[in-house]
Amino acid sequence: MSAGVGVDLENLWIRFGDFVAVRDANVNINGGDFFSFLGPSGCGKTTILRAVSGFLDPSEGKVLIGGNDMRGIGPNKRPTALIFQNLALFPLMKVWENITFSMEINGASAAQRRKRGDELLDMIALPGQGDKLPSELSGGQRQRVAIARALCAEPDVLLLDEPLSALDLKLRQHMRTELREIQKRVGITFIYITHDQGEALTMSDSIAVMRAGVIDQIADGKTIYNDPNTAFAASFVGENNVFRGKIKQVMGNEALIRTNRSGDLVARVSTANQGKLKEGDDAMMFVRPEAFAIAPDGATGDHFVTARVTHEEFEGNAYNIFTEGEGGKEIKVSLPNLGQSFEDHTGQNITLEYETRNAVLVPAGELAAE
């Protein structure tokens, strides 16, 4: 893969009046990476994208593209191309005119544009559709036209603002693979905005998890999933069960937490918080549903949780058990369906078991909204 052009955000602040949309963001995006900003709507990820593409001036800090400060350079002079959430295809232009708009701006002849347009249409697997209007295409086809239009401008950095959100589930999953393949083929930096953790995890080399203008964690998908920095990152990415409590004792990289409901439990302190969490701190322990197993009745210890089952459900690939948890929230346990028989525990107390490495301890903090 060719080393593309990197993007750096240095101490970036963006304010709208009194409202802080982005708070002190520091991000280094390597050239040629597929980088995602992941967060709920309103967290400021689109604002960052608009600052990179040049539609917004940062209140403080810098946006660097390929090491050059972009301050004062308009969107039409930056080596970026943006794919809008609603795609923003020009409704009155034919597909090929849409795709080659950037060439029209540069004064290319119609024949040149037509040729390049056909090449790009082949690339996005829509050969011969150039004479249609955008409104005559399906959602997925429009999606690909938007990508082709952005690529035709030969940008160093492609910015994508939740481009898949308007598609149905099947198409969305298909487009994920396709986007990733296109990115690998053209080798330029992709910056991708999404609130869908599935998209972020499947496509990205790196992910920044954002919450209310703050970047909580930047890491690859596996790290984000397995070793979250904050309660928000742990609860936003994937399903997770939370146990609140106070640190009772720190033992190297592990700690004992006195939970409000389930007694003392042991967990691994997340990497970023090692050495920072101290005894007496409020903390949260997260255990994924698939990390639980059913233990023999009566087992006790610091990695066993006993609770009453409220209901159960069969999901095909997994069997889900829900038990009473703290604060009205249930604990979800997901047992993989490997052909074994499941018995109904509803109304009974069961004991759950987990391995210490699968329980992560972070400082107490805000959880993602359901």
Partner 1 sequence: MNNSFLRVSIWVYLAIFFLYLLGPLVIMSITAFNSSGFPRMTPWECLTFQWFGELFQDQRILNGIKNSLIIGAGTVVLSVAMGLAGALMLTQIWPKLRATYYTVIIAPILIPGVVLGISTLVFWDRINRMLGLGADSFLSNGIFLTVIGQSTFIASYCMLVLVARLQRYDVALTEAALDLGATHAQAFRKILLPFMRPAIASAAVLAFLASFENYNTTTFTFGEYPTLTIELAQKVRYGITPSISALAFIIVALTVFFALLNEAKLKRQELVAAARKNATVEELAGKIKLPSFFAGNMAAVLVVVFAVATITVVGTATAYNPGQCIANVKEQKRLEAEQRIQELRKQREEQRKKREAEEAEQGDAQQSAPKPSNNSGFGNVFAPNTLDSDDEDDATGAETPSNNGGSGGVFDPNSLQDNQ
**Shortest distance, position 345 Cβ to partner 1, whole Å:** 52
Indicate the residue among 103 and 272 with the shorter CB distance to partner 1.
Answer: 103
Q: Which is nearer to partner 1, 3 or 105 (CB)?
A: 105
Supply the minimum distance, in Å, between the C-beta of residue 177 and partner 1.
Answer: 25
Q: Please, which residue, 148 or 209, has the CB nearer to partner 1?
A: 148
- Report the candidate in 263, 206, 269, 261 with the shortest Cα–Cα distance to residue 234: 269
Helices (H) and strands (E) in the chain, counts: 9, 20
Residue of 231, 226, 225, 207 whose CA lies nearest to 217: 207
Least Å from the CB of residue 7 to partner 1: 15
CB of 137 to partner 1, least distance (A): 11
**CB neighbour class for 131 (10 Å; exposed up to 12, middle 13-18, buried from 19):** exposed
Residue 101 C-beta: closest distance to partner 1, Å = 5
Return all residues near 346 (Cβ < 8 A) that are at least 6 apart. Answer: 309, 310, 311, 312
Nearer Cβ to partner 1 (52/179): 52
Q: Which residue, 22 or 81, has its beta carbon nearer to partner 1?
A: 81
Q: Output the smallest distance, CB 333 to partner 1, in A.
A: 45
Pairing between β-strand 60-65 and β-strand 7-16 as defined by DSSP bridges: antiparallel
Q: Which residues bind partner 1 (CB under 8 A)?
A: 53-55, 74-77, 80-82, 84-86, 88, 90-92, 101-102, 104-106, 128-129, 131-133, 136, 149-150, 153
Q: Give how far the C-alpha of residue 345 lies from the chain's centroid of Cα atoms, to the nearest Å.
A: 35
Residue 121 or 321 having the CB closest to partner 1: 121
Asked if residues 354 and 273 have their Cβ atoms less than 8 Å apart, the reply is: no
